[in-house]
A = this chain, B = another copy of it.
Amino acid sequence: MTHWIRFRDAGGSIGFGTLDQHSGRVVQHDGAMFDNPRPTDISFAVDDLTLLAPCQPSKVIALWNNYYALSQKLDKAPPKHPLFLIKPPMSVIGPAESIRRPKSYHGKIAYEGELGIVIGKTVSGASVEEAERAIFGYTCVNDVTAIELLQEDPNFAQWCRSKGFDTFTCLGPCIATGFDWRTANVVTTLEGVERQNYPLDDMIFSPAEQVSRLSQDMTLVPGDVIACGTSIGVGSIKDGARVDVSIMGIGTLSNVLEA
């Protein structure tokens, strides 16, 4: 398992590399993360770096109703095809940034801890096997939602608006390659108190199935992220509170809702 990060160093330069989670050392790479990255002689202590979102997606595809436990709780049938909305590139932040409350919105803001799939190859109309090979790795996602906007208009569910605000897609801390999603849980804590703890193997569409089916709908390109949907335990974040999304084998993504 390799852990890839993007970072800003003390001099302000942006780079990427691999993180050894035991030693805390980062080996800078050159080239491109998804295309022949090569290690350099430069290394850092991770504590001397500012972590950025580990990739820069052209789009984030966020699934709804992709866990059996939540579909049962909501009394909704499991979908026949992934149900999704698109979050814009400017919504993405990394582990060192804060979620910002939109100036125009005073209602509840919800966290959703999720697994994120990071695409490594351009893929269109892929079989499940081809889709598996197009997955570069996995990250943690907090899919933030201005929940009171979602059903504000009775004629149109505002998925893209309620989830598309700047800073509402938290990604990180790294991308783990060779990660076995079947054996891990998503654990979300709010101010240190556990609120979500659900097994990834309760997923309705597996990661490779998601990539295969979504690649029938649109071309996926390197760095794109699919947020696999959340399960039970979603709740709202008070201004100033911290949300941690942890997945064993990937790490912990921490973000504060700026007061």
Contacts and interface: CB of A to CB of B under 8 A. Distances in A.
Interface of A: 58-59, 64-65, 76-77, 79-81, 83-91, 102-104, 124-125, 152-153, 155-161, 164-166, 216-219, 221
Nearest to A88: B59
Nearest to A155: B76
Contact of A58 (B89, B161, B165): B89
Nearest to A221: B90
Given A76-B155, A103-B125, A216-B102, A86 B88 contact: yes
Nearest to A90: B219
Contacts of A125: 103-104
A219 B85 contact: no
Contacts of A221: 90
Contacts of A164: 86, 217-218
Nearest to A156: B83
Contacts of A219: 90, 166
Contact of A216 (B77, B89, B103, B157): B103
A18 to B, nearest CB: 29
Copies of this chain present: 2
B91 A218 contact: yes
A161 B65 contact: no
B76 A160 contact: no
Contact of A156 (B65, B86, B166): B65
A124 to B, nearest CB: 7
A209 to B, nearest CB: 14
Contact of A90 (B58, B65, B152, B216): B58
29 contacts: A58-B88, A59-B59, A59-B89, A65-B155, A76-B155, A80-B152, A81-B161, A83-B155, A83-B156, A83-B158, A83-B161, A84-B160, A84-B161, A85-B85, A85-B86, A86-B87, A86-B164, A88-B218, A90-B218, A90-B221, A103-B216, A104-B216, A157-B157, A159-B159, A159-B160, A161-B217, A164-B217, A165-B218, A166-B218
Contacts of A159: 85, 159-160
A64 B216 contact: no
A171 to B, nearest CB: 17
A79 B166 contact: no
A163 to B, nearest CB: 10
